[in-house]
Chain A
Amino acid sequence: MTEVLDTSTPMGRPLKRKEDARLLHGQTNWTDNIQLPGTVHMAILRSPMAHAKITKLDVSGALDQPHVVAAYGAAELGDLNGAIPCVWPVTDDIQMPPFPALAVDKVRHVGDAVAVVLATDKTAAYDALEAIDVDYEPLPAVVDMEAALQPGAPLVHDGEGAPMSNECYTFPLPGTGIPYDEAKAKADVVVKRRFVNQRIIAGYMEPRAVVASPMGMSNEMTVWSATQIPHILRVLLSLVTGLPENALRVVAPDVGGGFGGKLQLYREEILAVQLARHLGRPVKWTETRSEDMVASHHGRDQIQDIEICATKDGKLLGLKVDLLADMGAYLQIITPGIPLLGMFMFPAIYKMESYDFNCVGVFTNKTPTDAIRGAGRPEATFAIERIMDELAAELNMDPMKLREMNWIQHEEFPYATIAGLTYDTGNYEAATAKAMDLFGYDELRAEQEARRASGDPVQLGLGISTFTEMCGLAPSRTLGALKYVAGGWEHCTIRALPTGKIELITGTSPHGQGHETAWSQIAASILGVEVEDIEVVHGDTGRAPYGMDTYGSRSLAVGGQAIKKAAERLVEKAKVIAAHQLECSVDDLEFVDGAFRVKGDPEKAQPLAAVAFEAFSAHNLPDGVEPTLQAEATVDPDDFSYPHGTHLCAIEVDTETGKSTIRKYVCVDDVGVQVNPLIVEGQVHGGLAQGIAQALYEGVEYDEDGNLLTASFADYLIPSAADLPSFVTGTTVTPSTTNPLGTKGVGEAGAIASTPAVINAIVDALRPMGVTDVLMPASPQNVWRAIEDAKGGAA
C-alpha cells in the first residue's frame, strides 16, 4: 500500500545535495587520487589489430627498462591469468568462450590486452611498453554481424571446444498471445522496418581506475575501484582470483559517473588484484581516455527487424521482432542478457494480441558490449516508438492519436502485457495531456504546415515518444528464471549512535545520483531527525557489507524499501526502550517529530537520541532487549515498477545541409512518488542529453578491418553545452504499487525515451520528401543522404 507522506518531513522536498560541498571544492576522493607507499603502476600493452595470432611475445625487454618491477604476457602470468566470467548464460546452449585477462595466443579486438608492465613510476611503466617485442600474424576480422553469420566467415573463437560459428546464442521468446501469423492474417496493414541501433559508449567523465593493496603477510586485500558494483565485484573477484571473499574489501570511493559502463568486472581489476597479491605491494592502474575507448565495454549495437500489424482503423494486432545483437569479441559479465532486458519492452505501453521475439547474439572482432544506461530497454523503446510513427504514416493518422487508441488506459492497471509482465500503475493520458500542453502541439503542427507549403529549406518535424520501462532490478526469482546468476534484493542498516547521529548503511553504490541526500531524506522523515544528522555509508564492503549496488534504476525502487523498513524497525525497537524509560506501555506511546511521547501527556517524552544513548549505556534496558540501537532490512522486491512518460521534440531540419537543430524538447515523466524533485529533474536532464546524443551525435565506428575510428574524444563526439537545448520538464505522480514508498526509477528514463522522439521528429520533418528513416547518429551527412536517397527513389 502506498502511504501519503507527511509534507512536514524532508521527503519530497527539493533539498540541495549534501555531497556537493566536497565535489565543488576539489575535496573529492577519486580512485586515481589514492597514493599508497610502495605502489607499482600498471600499464597494459594492447592489440593494435582486430584479429591476429600472437606469433611472438617477449616481455624481457621491458624488464631492462628503468623503474620496471615486473612484466608479463599470458605465458609468464600462468595461473594468475584469471578469466572474466559471464554471469548471465541466457540459454542452455549458449557459447561462452574463455575471456582471459591477458590474451592467450590470439587477439580478438583492437585493445585486447596482450601484456602488462609494472613499474614504480607511472611514466616508466608506459615507456617500458615500447620495449616489449611482439609479433602478430593478422587474421581476417569479422566486423559486420550479418557477415559474421555467413557460412565460412572467419571465426572469432576457433580454439578447442569453441563454436563452429560466430553465433553466441539464439533466444526465442515462446510466442505470447495468439500466433503472430493469425494476427497478421486479420490485419489490414503490415509495416516492416529494419532499424539499426548503433554502438555507443558510456562516456563517464572519470576514466576507470583501480588500486589493489595487499595487507602485509595475510591474505587480506583492499581494492579501490571506480566501479558501480563494489559488492558484486567482491564476489566475482573472489571467485576469479581464489582470494577468500572474507579477506577482500572492495571500495568504490567517489565515482565520476557510470551509466552502466562501470557495471562490470574488468580484466584490469583482475590483473591488479592478482599482481598485487603476487608482488606483495599495491598495484595501481588508471586508464587513459583512448584506452577506455577500446577497453571498456560498449553498448547497444543491434540490428532490429520489426514488423507490426494493425486494422485499418489503427488497432494494433501483433508485433514481431527479430534481433541481431552484437556481443563483440567476448562476453563480459552480462553481455548476452542485455537484449533480453529489452525483450519485455518492445510491446511497451500498447495492447495487442500477439508478440513474437527472437534474438541472435553474434560474436565480432570488436570491443565487447554490455549495459549502457537503459540496457536493452532503449533499443526496444526506439524500435517500437519508431514503428508506431511509421504505422501512423501508413494509416495516414496522427501519430499521437494512434498511440492513444492503443495504449493501456489508466483504469486498466495493473495490466498484464503481451510480453508477460504486469505493469503496476500508470496514467499515460495524464502525462500526455500535460506534455501536449507544455509543447504547444497544435501550433507547431500549424507551423509545420506553413513551412511545407512555402517550401522552406528549413523544415519542422515533431517527434513523439510515449515510453515506459521496467525498473527496479529486480525480484530475485524473476532474475533466476532468466538464468541470471545473482539476485536483486537490497539491504540497509540504520544505527542510532549514542551521540545522537544516525548512520545509514546502504548497499547501493552511487556515482552521481545523490543517494547521500535522498536516502537521508527518507530516513529523516521516518526517524524525525535532521537530514544533516544522517551520514550515509556506501560503496565499501568493509563498512557496508551487504548490497547489490547501483544500476538499472534500482537504487530507490529497491534500496528505498530497505531504508524504510530498517528505519521503521529501528523505531519499533526504540519504542520498547522508551516505554521502559517512560514507564508506560508501548501502546501508550506515539512517535512524533523524532520523540516518543506518552499519548495525552506530551510533557512525558523521550527523543530518539536519548533512547540511543540508553541503548548504548545499557544501564536500564527492559528485560530481553539487547543493547545498541540499530536495525536492518533486506528487501527483495515483489515486482518491477514501471515509470513512463511522454516526450515531445520539435526539430528544425536544414534540408540543404542536413543539419538538425532541436527547437523545443518537452517531457513529462511519471516516476511515481519523488523523494527529491531536484534530483529527479537532474536525472531526467542527464538522460535526455545522453539519449539525444545517441540520436544526433554519437556512434562508435569501425572500419572494415576492425580498426576503431572513433578512438578518442576528438573523434567520438560527446555533445557540449553548445550542442544541446534547455529542456522543458514536468512530472505527473502515479505511485507505484510494488513498493511501499510508491517510487519508481528515474535514472534511465530520459535516455530511453528521447532517442526515438528525436529521430521521429527528423523523419516527420522529411516525410513529404519521401524519407522514412534516417540512420543514427542523424548527423547532417546521414540526414542529407536520406534526403538524396529519397529523391533518387522518387526519380
Chain B
Amino acid sequence: MTHVPISVTVDGTVYDGEVEPRTLLVHWLRDSLGRVGTVVGCDTSSCGACTVLLDGRSVKSCSVLAVQADGHSITTIQGLAEGEDNWHPVQTALKECHGLQCGYCTPGMVMSTVDLLSENPNPTEEEIREGLHGNLCRCTGYHNIVKSVQHAAEAMGGAK
C-alpha cells in the first residue's frame, strides 16, 4: 500500500513524514518521531493512556490515524510545558497531591485534565469523575487524582 505524505505540528514543531495510512497517530509519535511520552495501554480505545490534544481538544491517539492528523496540531505530555523545570499547573498538582504512582496512565490523565479544565474551569467532584472516565488508572484508586484536579483548578484560577 502506498505511503502518504503528512505534515503535523507536534508540540510546536512541524514534522513532515510519509506514513502507511494504517499507522495510528500514537505509533507515529512513538516509533517515527521518538516522542515516547505518549503511551499505549489497550486496543479498544478504553484506557485513555494515549490521550493527546488535537487542535486543543483531547483525543485518544490510538483511535486517530496519523494521516488524519495531517495539517493539524498535536500537543503531547512532552509539549505541555517545556523543560524539566517548566511545570503546567496540572502537572504540579498531581505531584503535590500524590496523584500518580506508576505513572503509566499519567500522560493521558494530564492531557484529559487540561481539556476538562479548559471547558469547565471549576468542576465539581462529580464532574471531575465523569470528565475523566475515559482514562483508566490502576494504581491510585482515583482519590488523589480527583484531589489533584481540584487543586489544579484552584491554582489556575477556578472560581471556587
Contact = CB atoms under 8 A, between A and B. Distances in A.
Interface of A: 16-17, 19-21, 23-28, 30, 32-33, 35, 122-123, 203-207, 254-257, 259, 288-290, 511-514, 678-679, 681-683, 685-690, 712-714, 718, 720-724, 726-727, 750
Contacts of A206: 39, 41, 102, 104
A529 to B, nearest CB: 22
A20 B94 contact: yes
Given A204-B138, A712-B44, 8 more contacts: A205-B137, A206-B39, A256-B102, A257-B104, A288-B43, A511-B102, A687-B141, A724-B141
Contacts of B96: 16
B43 A256 contact: no
B55 interface: no
A513 B140 CA distance: 10
Contact of A512 (B49, B101, B133): B101
B101 to A, nearest CB: 4
CB-CB nearest 6 A-B residue pairs: A26-B37, A256-B104, A23-B103, A512-B102, A689-B141, A685-B141
Contacts of B87: 24
Contacts of B44: 289-290, 712-714
A624 B145 CA distance: 55
Interface in B94-153: 94-96, 98, 100-107, 110, 125, 128-130, 132-146
Contact of A21 (B41, B95, B136, B142): B95
Given A16-B98, A205-B41, A712-B43, A256 B103 contact: yes
Contacts of A19: 103
B101 A25 contact: no
A568 B37 CA distance: 39
Contacts of A689: 138, 140-142
B98 A681 contact: yes
Nearest to A691: B141
B63 to A, nearest CB: 12
Given A16-B96, A288-B43, A679-B98, A30 B36 contact: yes
Contacts of A714: 44, 46
A19 B95 CA distance: 9
A289 B101 contact: no
A779 B3 CA distance: 47
A19 B101 CA distance: 9
Nearest to A29: B36
Contacts of A33: 30, 36
Contacts of A21: 84, 95
B38 interface: yes
Contact of B104 (A24, A122, A123, A205): A205
Contacts of A26: 35-38, 76-78, 107
B115 to A, nearest CB: 15
Given A26-B38, A712-B43, A205 B105 contact: yes
B40 interface: yes
Query: What is the size category of the interface that chain B forms with chain A?
Result: 35 or more
Nearest to B149: A721
B81 interface: yes
Question: Which of A681, A689, A727 is packed against the most chain B CB atoms within 10 Å?
Answer: A689
A721 B142 contact: yes
Contacts, number: 180
Nearest to A255: B102
Interface string B55-90: 000000000000000000000111001001001000
B132 A720 contact: yes
Given A207-B41, A712-B42, A25 B91 contact: yes
Contacts of B137: 205, 721
A722 B36 CA distance: 28
Contact of B37 (A28, A204, A678, A721): A28
A284 to B, nearest CB: 11
Contacts of B18: none
B84 A25 contact: yes
A686 B146 contact: no
A204 B102 contact: yes
A122 B31 contact: yes
Contact of A686 (B39, B43, B129, B139): B139
Contacts of B142: 685, 689, 720-721, 724
Contacts of A259: 138
B98 A257 contact: no
Contacts of B22: 123
B16 interface: no
Nearest to A254: B103
Contacts of B43: 288-290, 712
14 contacts: A20-B103, A25-B37, A30-B39, A206-B102, A256-B39, A257-B101, A257-B102, A289-B43, A681-B144, A685-B142, A686-B101, A690-B138, A712-B46, A721-B146
Contacts of A678: 98
Contacts of B143: 685, 724, 726-727
A16 B142 CA distance: 17
Nearest to B45: A714
Contacts of A514: 101
A138 B39 CA distance: 38
A724 B39 CA distance: 24
Contacts of B10: none
B141 A688 contact: yes
A30 B104 contact: yes
A679 B102 CA distance: 12
Contacts of A712: 42-44, 46
Nearest to B102: A512
A257 B76 contact: no
Contact of A713 (B46, B77, B106): B46
A361 to B, nearest CB: 28
A289 B41 contact: yes
